[in-house]
Amino acid sequence: MKRSIRTTVLSVGALIAAFGLPAGTAHADTTTPRVDLRVLVVTDGGPAVQAITAELDSAGTPYTQVDLTRSDRPTIDPTFLADTVDGRPRAKYQAVVLPNDNPFAPGFAEMSALTAYEQAYAIPQVDAYTYARPQVGLQYFVVGGYAGSVDGAQAAVTTAGQAGPFGYLDGAVPFEDNSPTVGESYAYLAQPAPGADFTTYVDAPIPGTARRGSLVGEYRHDGRRELVVTFVYNRYQQQYRLLARGIVEWMTGGVHLGASRNYFSVHVDDVFAADDRWDTQLNCTPGDVDCAGGAGTPSPIRMTAADAEYAKSWQAGRGITLDMVYNGAGSLDQREDNNGVDALADKLQADRAQFRWINHTYTHAFLGCEQDTSVVPWRCATNTNGSTKWISRNAIDDEIALNRVWGQNFGLPLQNDELVTGEHSGMAVLPQQPQDNPNLALSLTGNGVKWLASDNSRDPEQRQVGSASTVARYPMNVYYNVGKAAEAVDEYNWIYTSRAQGGSGICEDHADTTTCLSAPLDTATGYAGRIVPTEIHTALGHVLANDPKPHFIHQSNLAEERLAYPVLNGVIDGYNSLFAANTPLVNEPMRDIGAELKRRGLWKSAVQAGQVTAYRVGDTVTVVAPNGLDVTASLPTGTQRAGAAYGTPYAGRASGWTASTGAPITLTLPSSTPAAPSAVAAARPAPVSAPAPGTPVPPAVREGAEDTDRR
């Protein structure tokens, strides 16, 4: 054993020499190294590393991945990690992410190379999920610690964590416990080992004691810095989503390409119109296509002036502006049926400046194929030659233009480049209509539409339809055809219970549906007890995932029992309880969301194609990108470009988009930024520990599936 350790120490020294670095500080090279703004991710296929790469992908932060399960992967050696550019030493990666503190097979050659590299260039290392033991600066968990489930644990950011990489959080880091029968989170809770230079950033109570154990902390040793994470997670779990930003900020020192914010925008469809009501006996919606042969009697749900006043007051108190997605013909119908009176429209007209407004077409007509509703589900009508009968371009033009003119005459502050078609129609809808109505693109272009809403559950990726780019929206399981909680629960029960229980059987036919019920919900308690918490959890998950896509509800959800507000309040209250004031919800209009998605798509393509180069030398960051590409980065507040402040503040950093002209973009970091290496100096060689022992991963974490509700 002594012989093998000695061999390892010597190999580290040899590796330092291999980097072309001096053997000691007396004759150190004073040339400031270049550190490329790219992360090295070493993966074994586990969920924790996958979660970190998902965060990098979402933000647009470049990384290189080495898959340990592939036989054709590159070898991690000094040449792979560093070289010289224009006579200046270059570190190719600003941070290293490993599955654990040492995932390599016995022999240690690659771990030795990484150790020497991290020492030479002051490169931090993230241990994505590892075992608590002295090799990572912690006591063994058997010494007054804990190993096991932490489902439902109330973890917290420590004082050091809030002063450091997790300062955007308010303190609490609650662990999910979504099922009493499924283990979702496993952790090692331990305190720092005696004499270890270890700072805990996130901790949790050690069961049965008054002590707390580390879940996330920094271990400094042998000229290296490791972020030690001792709980397992996947990319969708709330506890990880809360900490993901801080993990990236820690590893990059707050200097990296890409940016992340937390978004929450809400569209209210069918404003001015009325929505048909769910029939609890027929299990369909009279007046809609799901009731065969026109069964039942329609019973409309429509907001009142009092509901509009409540909406105005609510959004003012919550710091959120609702997007009112309107159908002008709905007001015309109301006046015709009520001797010219429409108190709702009068109220919304008086308060029109308090909301944002989006064209939802004049009558909410279906703009795809002509629907044959003689069968359930409906099908596309066909011509005599078997071809699909499409809604004409003139009909689509009328729906867009008439609603636009009505809104302008009504005094709405419109943005005429935004459009939401009724039921997202005109675009493909499976299985009946597998392609877009070919007349839709022509009409969008002719009417100057740039942003077209799509349904994220069936059309999630941004794409071009004529002149318009799509903006996918998340549907909420607060249904368009209910105004009362009992109705909502009845429909929920119908959709998500088995045929034997009187339900639709969709869960039997679609195994990927995650909201299936083992028994029907109580109509008196099911909405508040099950549906609301489920919807809050799903929507908050989107908010925490750097996802700007809006959510949509319907005007019926603001009427009668005002079913949407418990969900919306739950999302906002839940968010505010977790995040500091420097990290507010971002509430954007549709066009800004569309532009953000488009910029992200172009940025991601350029990064993946290797068209973007970025590096740091001392306090200067240089980015080179193609002409016309918008560049995004997260940098310390106070960073300047050409003497002006860079970006806008968010979560303790400055971030934003900068248009490239093709020339290098130079950014000057503030003097308070943690220094990059001012000279490449070798740290003393250190023994490389044995590979980390295996760590358990609960099945629920390995699966890592996001909700796939049918909405």
509 contacts 490 by C-beta, under 8 angstroms: no
Do residues 414 and 524 both lie within one domain?
A: yes
Mean pLDDT of the chain: 93
Give the tokens for residue 120.
């030479």
- Is the four-CA dihedral 536, 537, 539, 540 of positive or negative sign? positive
Taking alpha carbons only, the member of 173, 217, 210, 209 closest to residue 193 is: 217
Q: Are 652 and 631 in contact (CB under 8 A)?
A: no
Picking from 338, 302, 320, 326, the residue whose alpha carbon sits closest to that of residue 410 is 326
CB of 465 within 8 A of CB of 436? yes
Q: What are phi and psi of 199, to 5 degrees?
A: -120, 120
Indicate the pairing of strand 356-359 with strand 371-372.
unpaired
Q: Tell me the three state secondary structure of residue 547.
A: coil
Provide the residue type at 226 as one letter.
Answer: E
Tell me, yes or no, whether 179 lies in a domain. Answer: yes
Q: How far apart are CA 408 and CA 484, in angstroms?
A: 33
Residue 108: its pLDDT value, please? 76
Contact 364, 426 (CB under 8 A): no
The more confident residue out of 350 and 3 is: 350
The CATH number linked to 399 is 3.20.20
Residue 260 lies in a domain: no
Same structural domain for residues 193 and 95? yes
Could you report the per-residue pLDDT of 163-183, keeping only the tens digit for each?
999 999 999 999 999 988 899
pLDDT digits (tens, 9 = 90+) for 208-217: 999 999 999 9
Q: For residue 281, give every residue at least 6 positions away whose Cβ sits within 8 Å of its Cβ, in sequence order, or none.
A: none
b/e per residue 506-533 (b: at least 16 CB within 10 A): bbeeeeebebbbeebbebeebbeebbbe
pLDDT given at position 23 = 47
Domain boundary among 556, 590, 624: 590
680 contacts 89 by C-beta, under 8 angstroms: yes
What's the DSSP call for residue 433? B
Could you tell me the strand order of the sheet in which 640-641 lies?
82-85, 88-91, 34-36, 613-617, 620-624, 665-668, 640-641, 644-645
- Tokens linked to 223: 């000229």
pLDDT band at 707 (very low <50, low <70, confident <90, very high): very low
pLDDT score for 29: 47
| Residues 567 and 595 grouped into a single domain | no
**Do 566 and 598 share a domain, yes or no?**
no
Q: What is the mean pLDDT of residues 242-260?
A: 98
**What pLDDT is attached to residue 709?**
42
Phi, psi of 270 (to 5 degrees): 70, 25
Range of 312's domain? 266-590
Mean pLDDT to the nearest integer, 61-81: 97
CB 28 within 8 A of CB 679: yes
Is the domain of 527 the same as that of 474? yes
Q: For residue 30, what pLDDT is reported?
A: 53
What is the model's pLDDT at position 331?
Answer: 98
Could you tell me which residues are beta bridge partners of residue 645?
A: 640
Range 410-436 average pLDDT: 96
The count of structural domains within the chain is 3
Dist CA 474 CA 552 (whole Å)? 6
pLDDT at 14 over 70: no
Residues 301, 438: one domain? yes
Residue 318 domain-assigned (yes or no): yes
| pLDDT tens-digit readout, 252-296 | 999 999 999 999 999 999 999 999 999 999 999 999 888 888 899
State mean pLDDT over 613-631. 97
Residues 482 and 514 reside in one and the same domain: yes
Boundary residue ending a domain (590, 613, 638): 590
- Mapped onto helix, strand or coil, the DSSP state of residue 111 is helix
DSSP state of 19: T
* CA 14 – CA 177 distance, rounded (Å): 49
Residues 623 and 697 reside in one and the same domain: no
> How far apart are alpha carbons 366 and 422 in whole angstroms?
6
Compute the distance between CA of residue 222 and CA of residue 193 in angstroms, rounded to an integer: 16
Question: Reduced to 3 states, what is the DSSP secondary structure of residue 138?
Answer: strand
* Domain stops at, among 590, 606, 636: 590
Please report the beta strands in 54-209, taking only residues with DSSP state E, as ranges in sequence order.
Answer: 63-67, 82-85, 88-91, 95-98, 125-127, 146-149, 154-157, 172-174, 186-189, 197-205
In a domain, 708, yes or no: no
Q: Please say whether the beta carbons of 636 and 646 come within 8 A.
A: no
The rounded distance, in Å, linking the Cα atoms of 17 and 15 is: 5
* Sequence-separated (6 or more) residues with CB below 8 Å from residue 630: 599, 602, 603, 657, 658, 659, 660
**Whole-Å CA distances, 384 to 4, 355, 381, 387, 463:** 83, 47, 10, 7, 32
CATH number at residue 41: 3.40.50.880
Query: What is the model's pTM?
Result: 0.93
For residue 303, being part of any structural domain is answered with yes
**Both 363 and 473 in a single domain?**
yes
pLDDT tens digits, one per residue of 430-444: 999 999 999 999 999
> Is the pLDDT reported for residue 33 higher than 80?
yes
What does the pLDDT look like over 557-593, one tens digit per residue?
Answer: 999 999 999 999 999 999 999 999 999 999 999 999 9
88-91 and 34-36 strand pairing:
parallel
CA distances from 265 to 148, 316, 593 (A): 38, 14, 9
Angle 47-59/238-252 helices, nearest 10 degrees? 70
- A 10 A CB-CB count for 389 gives 13
pLDDT band at 451 (very low <50, low <70, confident <90, very high): very high
Label residue 17 by pLDDT band (50, 70, 90): low
Helix 564-578 with 305-318: angle, nearest 10 deg: 10
- Cα dihedral 378, 381, 385, 387 sign: negative
pLDDT at residue 689 greater than cutoff 90:
no
Helix (H) or strand (E) holding 564: helix 564-578
Q: Are residues 7 and 123 in the same domain?
A: yes
HSE (CB half, 13 Å, CA atoms) of 153? 27
Check whether residue 653 and residue 698 sit in a common domain.
no
Q: Is 261 among the domain residues?
A: no
Question: Where residue 655 falls among pLDDT bands split at 50, 70, 90?
Answer: very high
- Whether 259 maps to a domain, the answer reads no
Rounded-to-integer distance, Cα 551 and Cα 263, Å: 10
Q: What percent of the chain has pLDDT over 90?
A: 86
467: left (phi over 0), alpha (psi -120 to 50) or beta: alpha
Asked, for residue 65, whether it belongs to a domain, the answer is yes
* Co-location of 244 and 317 in the same domain: no
